[in-house]
């Protein structure tokens, strides 16, 4: 590996990333991604196989290289960076570091999922497979669950999995850091387990957020903070995500703006829009009838 140049390492990291997080890689993907000739892509695949001979096997029918059960990543994949890449459709596995020290800081995340858990979940979602997991919940402790996952979600505080739970026969959220083991099953999902049957996920809720009418003395500052037009921030969010967003930004969801305190600088003007949305117990001040 030390003898390879930067461009070669980058292409090998791409193959490694595709195998690890999608379960497969193709010659045509390498050609398209790096604008290479077929012969050059073939050489990269051969080089990867020489370095990691047990990581992939070729399927003559599908004309693809698939991950094997003996796969061990050739490159180190940072869990936090990988989640950001997956969320933004970036399929470059190479961890590069900028040599310019920009004066920008961000808080350290307190809860980062394990990279092998992310990889298994990503593979299952892409190939529409059900999974068996060992999950640690606050209410039930350690349990085995059968899930059909469809999305990995950043709710602003932590990452969770949106999936159909075969035990409760409902779509639910599962915190990624509480999943300790994932086994991908051979069978695909049933029609009732499909993402499009997740009504809370498919339903978009329009929110009208304004400066808090009682807690904010100078609302212009808040309008500038959130780029409000005509004093209102209008956004649409999935019903399944509404509670997370409102809690993250401390949006007062009470009918009369009754929450006090400097943390409540925003107010939800159209609380009626939340009717029927789940997971609203965490929305500040929202009264569940």
Q: Where do the H-state alpha helices sit in 169-255? A: 199-202, 219-225, 239-248
Q: Where are the domains of the chain?
A: 6-77, 115-198, 203-274
Laid out side by side, the sheet with 64-67 consists of 24-25, 64-67, 56-59
Grade residue 100 by pLDDT with cuts at 50, 70 and 90. Answer: low
pLDDT-based confidence at residue 82 (cuts at 50, 70, 90): confident
Task: Provide CB contacts within 8 A for 210, sequence distance 6+.
Answer: 228, 231, 232, 233, 266, 267, 269
How high is the pLDDT of residue 39? 96
Mean pLDDT value across the chain: 92
Phi, psi dihedral angles at 235 (to 5 degrees):
-140, 160
Q: Is the dihedral of CA 209, 212, 216, 220 positive or negative?
A: positive
Mean pLDDT, residues 230-255: 96
d(CA 120, CA 71): 12
pLDDT, tens digit, for every residue of 15-31?
A: 999 999 999 999 999 99
Residue pair 270/192 in contact by the 8 Å Cβ criterion = no
Q: Using CB atoms within 10 A of its CB, is residue 46 exposed (0-12), middle (13-18) or buried (19+)?
A: exposed
Tell me what pLDDT residue 96 has: 54
Amino acid 97: pLDDT? 47
In sequence order, the β-bridge partners of residue 135 are 143, 179
For residue 2, name the pLDDT band (cuts at 50, 70, 90): confident
| High-pLDDT (> 90) share of the chain, % | 80
Helix (H, G, I), strand (E, B), or coil: what is residue 222? helix
- Indicate whether 152 pLDDT > 50: yes
- In the block, tokens 């990624």 appear at 176
49-74 residue pLDDT tens: 999 999 999 999 999 999 999 999 99
pLDDT in tens, 182-199: 999 988 889 999 999 999
What is the CATH class of 6-77? mainly alpha
More confident residue, 100 or 2: 2
CATH architecture of 115-198: Roll (2.30)
In which residue are the tokens 């990333």 written? 17
Extended beta strands in the chain, E state: 24-25, 56-59, 64-67, 129-137, 141-154, 159-165, 170-175, 179-188, 204-211, 233-238, 251-252, 266-268
Higher pLDDT, 123 or 100: 123
> Which pTM does this prediction carry?
0.87
């Amino acid at each position: 590996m030390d003898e390879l140049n930067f461009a070669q390492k980058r292409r090998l990291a791409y193959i490694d990333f595709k195998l690890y997080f999608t379960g497969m890689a193709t010659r045509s993907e390498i050609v398209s991604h790096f604008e290479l000739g077929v012969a050059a892509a073939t050489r990269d695949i051969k080089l990867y196989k020489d370095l990691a001979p047990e990581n992939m096997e070729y399927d003559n029918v599908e004309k693809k290289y698939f991950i094997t059960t003996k796969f061990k990543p050739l490159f180190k994949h940072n869990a936090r960076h990988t989640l950001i890449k997956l969320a933004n459709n970036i399929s470059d596995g190479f961890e590069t570091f900028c040599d310019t020290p920009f004066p920008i800081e961000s808080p350290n995340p307190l809860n980062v999922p394990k990279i092998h858990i992310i990889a298994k979940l990503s593979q299952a979602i892409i190939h529409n497979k059900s999974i068996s997991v060992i999950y640690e919940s606050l209410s039930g402790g350690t349990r085995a669950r059968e899930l059909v996952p469809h999305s990995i979600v950043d709710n602003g505080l932590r990452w969770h999995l949106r999936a159909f739970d075969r035990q409760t026969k409902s779509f639910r959220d599962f915190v990624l850091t509480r999943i300790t083991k994932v086994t991908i099953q051979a069978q695909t999902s049933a029609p009732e387990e499909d993402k499009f049957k997740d009504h809370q996920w498919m339903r978009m809720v329009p929110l009208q957020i304004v400066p808090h009418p009682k807690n904010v003395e100078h609302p212009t500052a808040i309008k500038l903070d959130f780029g409000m037009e005509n004093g209102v921030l209008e956004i649409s969010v999935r019903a399944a995500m509404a509670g997370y967003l409102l809690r993250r930004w401390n949006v007062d969801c009470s009918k009369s703006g009754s929450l006090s305190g400097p943390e409540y600088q925003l107010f939800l003007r159209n609380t009626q829009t939340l009717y029927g949305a789940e997971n609203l117990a965490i929305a500040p001040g929202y009264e569940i009838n």
